[in-house]
């Protein structure tokens, strides 16, 4: 089963082979979890919850998968949508506590909302500081969608054309976002760490 | 032109996407700008730095929950190994129709009762299917005989 493509495995799952989907889960468990961690500002438990939602969704929506279309962009589209929905629901919860969405999601913010996001059970534990490197903290500060483009291309290895499908952007626009993100990142890294 | 733009050009150059004219302008700038030379040095090593980023894994608890969900949600494999005698659930699976549909045709389907259980002989069911196929084909021929009539099959009502 190791030499089968993602698309072949998904078709096998559509026909009732649970082991084929287990194989897909093994292939995508780490890439999707690390993508979600970065999308969700290293909120570890949130990323775990969303990862679970994504695989449940994939299993339930198996009949919607069109075997001739590439599997990987489809998976990342579902993961990104669930991740963004999670951020939105956190923003709603934050609004009830008079915390703005920006304060909750802006990693550069020193406002109490950011602290609350770490302390309140609603927002789950943030990955420990040792696990989040300086490079990752700078990536986290990149504006969207440049951050997602950078993570998907430089970290997860997706080609620009696939990222264009995931983000519903033109491939040329994806390229522009990528170069801008990499430039910004290296300019910040060139400055001495505080 | 500022250093932010030159940094973007450095990125394009690294991926072979910068044209010769811009490369010349960039090189002229690099010769005089220490900050951009440092950005270039960092950019060249960035891919290796990204490779070294820690790859975090979901917890075992979360992985187990997903595996359980996969098995609960997996479609049942289609059965093909039916024996000579089938009960009503097996018949529904054999015919690939919901159990309720079998219920609608119970008076028509060949069956026998044993120990209070309704059973179906596979060969008799296959003959019943063939009979239905012949009736559908005959009905289609009747339709085609009528000039200009649409060649669609008419649902056949069982004669009992």
DSSP 8-state code for residue B115: T
- What part of B 140-159 touches A (C-beta under 8 Å)? none
Clarify whether residues A27 and A80 are in a common domain.
yes
Q: Concatenated DSSP letters for A92-156?
A: HHHHHTT--HHHHH-TT--SHHHHHHHHSGGG-PBPPGGGS-HHHHHHHTSPTTHHHHHIIIIIT
CATH number of domain containing A159 = 1.10.10.10
Instruction: State which of A129, A159, A179 marks the end of a domain.
Output: A129
Least trusted range by pLDDT, from A23-37, B41-55, B69-83? B69-83
Instruction: Identify from A19, A23, A35, A59 which residue to disrupt to test chain B contact, counting B C-beta atoms within 10 A and taking the largest count.
Output: A59
pTM beyond 0.80: the answer is no
Residue of A nearest to B7 (CA): A183
Give mean pLDDT in consecutive 10-residue pieces for chain A, a chain of 194 residues.
90 88 94 96 93 93 87 96 93 62 50 37 52 87 94 96 96 97 95 73
Interface probe, candidates A190, A191, A192, chain B, greatest B C-beta count within 10 A: A190
Residue A95 has what pLDDT? 62
Same domain? A151 vs A73 = no
| pLDDT higher than threshold 70 for residue B149 | no
Check residue B93 and give its pLDDT.
Answer: 87
Hey, what are B146's tokens?
A: 């009528």
* Inter-chain CB proximity A183 and B57 less than 8 Å: no
Contacts of A164 (CB under 8 A, 6+ apart): A170, A171, A173, A174
d(C-alpha A122, C-alpha A114), whole Å: 13
Q: Quick one: A23 and A119 in the same domain?
A: yes
| Burial group, residue A104, by CB count within 10 angstroms (0-12, 13-18, 19+) | buried
In chain A, whose CA is at the least distance from the CA of B36? A187
As for the ipTM of the complex, it is 0.78
Given an 8 Å threshold on Cβ–Cβ distance, is B11 in contact with A182? yes
> In which band, very low, low, confident or very high, does the pLDDT at B22 lie, cut at 50, 70 and 90?
very high
Q: Which of A100, A129, A158 is the last residue of a domain?
A: A129
> Which helix (H) or strand (E) is B118 found in, with range?
strand B117-121
What CATH number does residue A117 fall under?
A: 1.10.1740.10
The answer to whether B45 faces chain A, any CB pair under 8 Å, is no
Contact B43 A186 (CB under 8 A): yes
**Domain shared by A96 and A184, yes or no:** no
Q: Which of B43, B55, B66 minimises the CB distance to A34? A: B55
Q: Are A17 and A57 part of one and the same domain?
A: yes
User: Does residue A150 share a domain with residue A64?
Assistant: no
Total structural domains in chain A?
2
Residue A137 shares a structural domain with residue A122? no
- Domain span at residue A174 reads 133-194
């Amino acid at each position: 089963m190791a030499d089968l493509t993602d698309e072949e495995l998904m078709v096998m799952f559509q026909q009732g082979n649970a082991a084929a989907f287990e194989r897909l889960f093994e292939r995508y468990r780490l890439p999707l979890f690390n993508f979600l961690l970065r999308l969700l500002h290293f909120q570890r438990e949130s990323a775990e919850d969303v990862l679970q939602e994504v695989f449940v969704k994939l299993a339930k929506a198996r009949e919607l998968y069109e075997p001739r279309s590439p599997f990987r962009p489809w998976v990342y589209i579902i993961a990104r949508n669930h991740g963004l929905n999670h951020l939105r629901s956190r923003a709603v919860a934050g609004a009830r506590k008079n915390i703005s969405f920006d304060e909750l999601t802006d990693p550069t913010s020193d406002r109490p909302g950011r602290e609350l996001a770490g302390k309140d059970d609603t927002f789950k534990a943030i990955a420990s500081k040792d696990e989040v490197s300086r490079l990752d903290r700078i990536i986290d500060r990149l504006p969207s969608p440049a951050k997602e483009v950078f993570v998907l291309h430089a970290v997860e290895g997706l080609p620009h054309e696939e990222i264009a499908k995931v983000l519903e952007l033109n491939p040329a626009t994806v390229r522009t976002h990528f170069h801008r993100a990499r430039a910004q990142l290296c300019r910040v890294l060139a400055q001495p760490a505080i | 032109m500022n250093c932010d733009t030159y940094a973007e050009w450095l990125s394009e150059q690294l991926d072979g996407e910068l044209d010769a004219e811009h490369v010349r302008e960039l090189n002229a700038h690099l010769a005089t700008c220490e900050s951009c030379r440092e950005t270039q040095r960092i950019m060249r090593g960035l891919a290796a730095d990204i490779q070294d980023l820690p790859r975090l894994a979901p917890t075992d608890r979360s992985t187990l929950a997903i595996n359980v969900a996969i098995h609960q949600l997996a479609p049942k494999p289609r059965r093909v190994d039916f024996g000579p005698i089938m009960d009503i659930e097996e018949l529904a699976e054999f015919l690939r129709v919901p159990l309720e549909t079998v219920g609608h045709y119970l008076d028509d389907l060949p069956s026998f009762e044993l120990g209070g259980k309704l059973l179906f002989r596979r060969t008799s069911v296959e003959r019943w299917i063939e009979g239905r196929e012949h009736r559908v084909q005959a009905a289609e021929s009747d339709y085609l005989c009528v000039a200009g009539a649409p060649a669609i099959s008419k649902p056949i009502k069982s004669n009992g």
